[in-house]
Amino acid sequence: MDTATSVPVRSGARPLLLAAGRVLRGVMAALFALLGLCLAALCVGRFAALGAGAPLWLDTLSAAELLAGQLLFGAEYAGWDEFARALGLAVLGSFGLGAAGWAWPRRRRVRAGSAPYAFSYQVEDRGSVN
């Protein structure tokens, strides 16, 4: 009689270390995204301050950028070129959002031919027919 058996290749449970790493990557991605969005907002405020007709809320972002820069780099930050500061914020914001995309946890891709079960086909030999 012919029999077909199926044996699970792997269990559905993930090891605890992989699950913790996935959570850690999610937290890192959220922090990088928050940093990148904050830098992008400050960049928009700095670019708006280059012109004369910026709305009040953009001037507020520009003032926040100036204050944060002076806290980080000292009083001489106000003397730096405004366009260079805006460009630097754009590059740093892009880097932060790119790092968030890199850190975002992904699912493993399963190849089209692979299945969660390995099948084996066994034939019992009951002697020759002749």
In a domain, 130, yes or no: no
Q: Read off the tokens for 29.
A: 């991605």
Range of the domain at 26: 18-103
Q: Could you give the CA distance from residue 90 to residue 57 in angstroms, rounded to a whole number?
A: 19
The number of domains in the chain is 1
Neighbours of 102 (CB within 10 A): 11
Enter the pTM of the model.
Answer: 0.67
In a domain, 55, yes or no: yes
pLDDT in tens, the chain (130 residues): 455 555 555 555 666 767 788 889 999 999 999 999 999 999 999 999 888 888 898 999 999 999 999 999 999 998 999 999 999 999 999 999 999 999 988 776 655 555 555 555 566 666 666 5
> Does the CA dihedral 71-72-77-82 come out positive or negative?
negative
In a domain, 39, yes or no: yes
In a domain, 4, yes or no: no
Taking a C-beta distance cutoff of 8 angstroms, is the pair 87, 81 a contact?
no
